[in-house]
Amino acid sequence: DQQVKQNSPSLSVQEGRISILNCDYTNSMFDYFLWYKKYPAEGPTFLISISSIKDKNEDGRFTVFLNKSAKHLSLHIVPSQPGDSAVYFCAARPSGAGNMLTFGGGTRLMVKP
Amino acid sequence: EAGVAQSPRYKIIEKRQSVAFWCNPISGHATLYWYQQILGQGPKLLIQFQNNGVVDDSQLPKDRFSAERLKGVDSTLKIQPAKLEDSAVYLCASSLGKGAYYGYTFGSGTRLTVV
């Protein structure tokens, strides 16, 4: 039972354009959502997060949008850069779960120069 | 600040053999996590420690996997005996606390191949 799903295994975008990565979840108890970025042979690194009481959080070129009614969140990267090429994981935390995260399967983003 | 250290980086073993992974978290981080990441999938939590006590091990296959965190610092994860489906990257992460959200810091992982 996958509670967090990233339905696009890969995405290819031209440098300078917008990258949109999507994530869907099924558990209504999730109250905090995060995006992690992973380069080959490295551990995932935290990118940006959003609380369930908000619908948008922005940090530089990265913006996360949350649609609670649709149980959907997305990560926008504008403008995309070749260094953004990596695997992006969406993760969610249930309220009262003691900080345990459930991860999606990841989306591989390729930004072409 | 030093990151989360893991060793070894790579390990190849035959099925039914045993293997152990080691993790040294960031100094002062009370909470430590072990995740299993199978190729093409997201990380899956195996066990969470708060200091040297287990917070959650509901997804740890206890018939073959064991983990400990002596003295609330370093941790080891053991698999005995290993199966082919245990081939994965084993990620260790640590955070300051377990209550309100605290950011995780992941180590680079140990890639296990069972043949």
Q: Do B4 and A98 touch (CB under 8 A)?
A: no
User: What percentage of chain B reaches a pLDDT higher than 90?
Assistant: 77
Q: How far is B83 from chain A (nearest CA, A)?
A: 22
β-bridge mates for residue A80, sequence order:
none
Q: Do A105 and B108 touch (CB under 8 A)?
A: no
Give the pLDDT band (50/70/90) at residue A95: confident
Instruction: Report the C-alpha gap between B83 and B81 in whole angstroms.
Output: 7
Give CA separation, B114 vs B2, B8, B13, B43, in Å: 31, 15, 5, 18
CB B31 within 8 A of CB B50: yes
Among the partner residues B31, B42, B55, nearest to A103 by beta-carbon distance: B42
Residue A1 has pLDDT above 70, yes or no: no
Q: How far is B89 from chain A (nearest CA, A)?
A: 10
What radius of gyration, in Å, describes the C-alpha atoms of chain B? Answer: 13
Q: How far is B14 from chain A (nearest CA, A)?
A: 23
Residue A2 has pLDDT above 90, yes or no: no
What pLDDT score was predicted for residue A74?
98
| Average pLDDT over all residues of chain B | 92
What pLDDT score was predicted for residue A12?
98
State which residue of chain B sits closest to A94, comparing Cα positions.
B101
Q: How far is B103 from chain A (nearest CA, A)?
A: 7
What pLDDT score was predicted for residue B98?
60
User: What percentage of chain A reaches a pLDDT higher than 90?
Assistant: 86
pLDDT in tens, B96-106: 866 546 678 99
Within 10 angstroms of residue B6's Cβ, the number of other Cβ atoms is: 24
The first and second tokens of residue B69, run together, are: 């965190």
Residue with token string 């990151």: B3
Give the pLDDT band (50/70/90) at residue A97: low
How many CB pairs below 8 A link A and B?
58
pLDDT in tens, A4-53: 999 999 999 999 999 999 999 999 999 999 999 999 989 999 999 999 99
- Strand A10-14 and strand A107-112: the pairing is parallel
Most confident of A60-69, A97-106, B101-110: A60-69
Residue B30 has pLDDT above 70, yes or no: yes
Q: Which residues contact B41 (CB under 8 A, 6 or more apart)?
A: A105, A106
Give the pLDDT band (50/70/90) at residue A54: very high
Q: Chain centroid to CA B109: how far?
A: 8
Q: Do B98 and A98 touch (CB under 8 A)?
A: yes
Q: Do A43 and B31 touch (CB under 8 A)?
A: no
Q: Chain centroid to CA B85: how far?
A: 16
